Amino acid sequence: MPTDDRPEYDVVIVGAGLAGLYMLHRVRGLGLSVRVYEAGDGVGGTWYWNRYPGARCDVPSLEYSYSFDPQLEQEWEWSERYATQPEILRYIEHVADRYDLRRDITLGTRVESVIRDDEANRWAVTTDAGEEVWATFVITAAGCLSAPKPPEIGGLDSFAGTLVSTSAWPADGVDLAGKRVGVIGTGSSGIQSIPLIAEQAASLTVFQRTPNYSLPAHNAPLDPAVQRDWKARYREHRAAVLQARTGILVERGTRSALEVDPDERSARYAQCWDSGLFACIPASYTDIITDLDANETAAEFVRGRIREIVRDPDVAEALTPRGYPFGTKRICLDTGYYDTFNQEHVTLVDLRRTPLVAVTPEGVQTTEEEFGLDVLVLATGFDAVTGPLLRMDIRGRDGVHLRDAWAGGPHSYLGLQVAGFPNLFTITGPGSPSVVSNVVVSIEQHVDWIAECLRYLREHGVAAIEPDADAEAAWAQHVHDVAAATLYPQAPSWFVGANVPGKPRVFMPYLGGVPAYRQKCAEVVEAGYEGFVLHRPAVHA
């Protein structure tokens, strides 16, 4: 624990990505002292770390951007419909410089522990650099997909070639030219990187356990006329985004998929396929995500497109998702993914048929053969939503560990706070729309809510805030009930932690939609922070 001569801040923010930077900007505006700790050597969060070939956003650039400053909207020019990682990182760096945010950020420093001092009503924050500070408020902005999942693959340390992860791709790149390359994993990172890796490698072997649904992005340079139109009507567009269920502008259907003529339905799906919007097919009819028969019509349409693209029927079948409903895992957007498997130097290994045994010094051994490799790429995903929080040692009232509090699965009130952890806020935490929405929309809403909460606490002499345990339990039940009314829980996805051995199976994000969630958060404030306990002043009681 730090001693009393350690620096003390009103607010410590964990993370300097899109959430942390905006939170810093808002906290500064309140006149509070603040320090941000960022594990990376630069700002950007997800967009600092994920430098793998093909990394880009799956939400249109004009929507995947801050809305808080109209001048920022007007001055920044996006070059592509879906921005690449380098362009998004340049945007984030521009924001850090434009608002002079770097002077309050400590880079290359990971927060190791956040421990509550009940008597003093403050948090002791310790970093891996040995720095110890006090903070009245701690705000986690660590991101939902920032804790890489340790791969459950034996023999990785024995590999004699180059071993690299998509989540920690070297800034100076990896030499793939003329190399025998293997990729383990076909989630979003794998699907984005595989076509570009295939362009460079002498041979590419893709090791797939579970095929994912992927739709074509139809990415292209951003039409200047489109960008001018958006800038002329940005306020109107932003207002429309806030009324969109996922925070992404997409036309929503008003009929069941089962009540329309099959030809009409196929034409609608084809229109969505050509739109380049991953949210289009799920939104095309009212029951795609709630009725299995309706869902199957969409799933079979996508499977048919895969069969049309991939010439080898056996490879096409191996790439065809089955066993879980369409859209219940995050749908991927790609550029030439399925067509990549038509290339002679690209091989797909179906690990459902021939399981992976181990990585060897020479490559990868399955139950049938060993594949010699020079480079092995791990695209094995993340310990999503809770992982970034639980890798820190967070202890609340009476020394209770957050990991123990969440032993049966995460619970929070509105995804913003956890009972027993006063003055600890979690931007896009479990129980909020977060990863099932345009995350920038969700980030801004959380940051604004937290900033106004901090203002309220100061103006009303409130020492600490935390959820009422009953309100938290009721919200957790509501999150569960909303998810249970859909097909989402039927998929073994990272939304429920199914990709991490031993992780409690709880559907983590809130599926009620961005507008309903925003309304609930507003109603809570209007009712005097209903569902929260406001401590004046005996915060340790």
pLDDT at 541 over 50: no
**Rg of the chain over CA atoms, in angstroms?**
24
Which residue reads 């604004």 in tokens?
Answer: 448
Q: Who's near 41: CB < 8 A, 6+ residues apart?
A: 107, 108
Assign 82 to helix, strand or coil.
coil
For 173, the token pair is 């790149």
pLDDT at 3 over 70: no
Which stretches of 462-501 are DSSP H helices? 469-484
Instruction: Taking residues 379-391, report their average pLDDT.
Output: 97
Alpha-carbon torsion angle 244, 247, 250, 251, nearest 10: -10
Q: Which amino acid is at 466?
A: E
**Average pLDDT over the chain, rounded to whole?**
97
Contact 319, 179 (CB under 8 A): no
The string of DSSP codes covering 152-177 is --TTGGG--SEEEEGGG--TT----T
What are the distances in angstroms from CA 56 to CA 59, 60, 430, 469?
A: 9, 10, 24, 40
pLDDT of residue 4: 75
Pairing outcome for strands 122-127 and 111-117:
antiparallel
**% residues pLDDT > 90 (the chain):** 98
Contact 217, 238 (CB under 8 A): no
Which residue reads 């932003």 in tokens?
Answer: 238
pLDDT of residue 538: 62
151-171: pLDDT as tens digits: 999 999 999 999 999 999 999
448-482: pLDDT as tens digits: 999 999 999 999 999 999 999 999 999 999 999 99
What are the distances in angstroms from CA 506 to CA 151, 256, 476?
A: 21, 28, 10
pTM (2 d.p.): 0.97
Distance of CA 319 to the CA centre of its chain: 24
**Of 426, 441, 78, 403, the residue nearest 230 (C-alpha):** 78
185-206: pLDDT as tens digits: 999 999 999 999 999 999 999 9
CA distance 297 to 301: 6
Burial of residue 103 (number of CB atoms within 10 Å: 0-12, 13-18, 19+): exposed
257-300: pLDDT as tens digits: 999 999 999 999 999 999 999 999 999 999 999 999 999 999 99
Contact 118, 140 (CB under 8 A): no
- What is the 3-state composition of the chain as percent helix, strand, coil, each rounded to the nearest 5? 35, 20, 45
**Of 46, 49, 25, the residue nearest 36 (C-alpha):** 25
Q: At what angle do helices 439-459 and 514-526 cross, to 10 degrees?
A: 0
Contact 517, 510 (CB under 8 A): yes
Contact 196, 385 (CB under 8 A): no
CA distance 139 to 427: 7
220-235: pLDDT as tens digits: 999 999 999 999 999 9
36-65: pLDDT as tens digits: 999 999 999 999 999 999 999 999 999 999
pLDDT at 539 over 70: no
Q: Who's near 313: CB < 8 A, 6+ residues apart?
A: 307
CA distance 260 to 294: 11
486-503: pLDDT as tens digits: 999 999 999 999 999 999
82-111: pLDDT as tens digits: 999 999 999 999 999 999 999 999 999 999
